[in-house]
Structure 1
């Protein structure tokens, strides 16, 4: 369970990378940045989702 605590932060790193990609595509007239921003939003959602359920599993195992 130890490695799963750190994998949730991978989603934040992915979100930052896609936000950067989206910003660079905003400045390019031929680029389409919306897919990059959508992937970044999903990554941020997954970070909070994983963090919530990681806490729930930790609380469950502490009660046993």
Structure 2
């Protein structure tokens, strides 16, 4: 279960990618709607913090038992 410490950072990578994608869509309106990319980026950043909190809670629970 040691890999769970590192999988949360995948969400940050996806968030950065979708922020980049959103800005490219803002600069070129022919590419499509940028707001969906920004919403997915926001969700990815939220999931990063959620997973980080969950992993810390899981680690603390294992230390107490």
| TM-score normalised over the length of structure 1 | 0.96
Task: Establish whether residue 10 from structure 1 lines up as the match of residue 5 from structure 2.
Answer: no
Unaligned segments of structure 1, at least 5 residues? none
Which string of whole-angstrom CA distances, capped at 9 and with x for unpartnered residues, describes residues 13-57 of structure 1?
000000000000000122210000000000000000000010000
CA RMSD across the alignment: 0.6
Structure 2 SS opposite 1:2: coil
Tell me the matched-pair count.
64
Task: Specify the alignment match of 1:48 in structure 2.
Answer: 49
Unaligned segments of structure 2, at least 5 residues? none
Q: State the 4+ residue runs in structure 1 displaced beyond 6 angstroms.
A: none
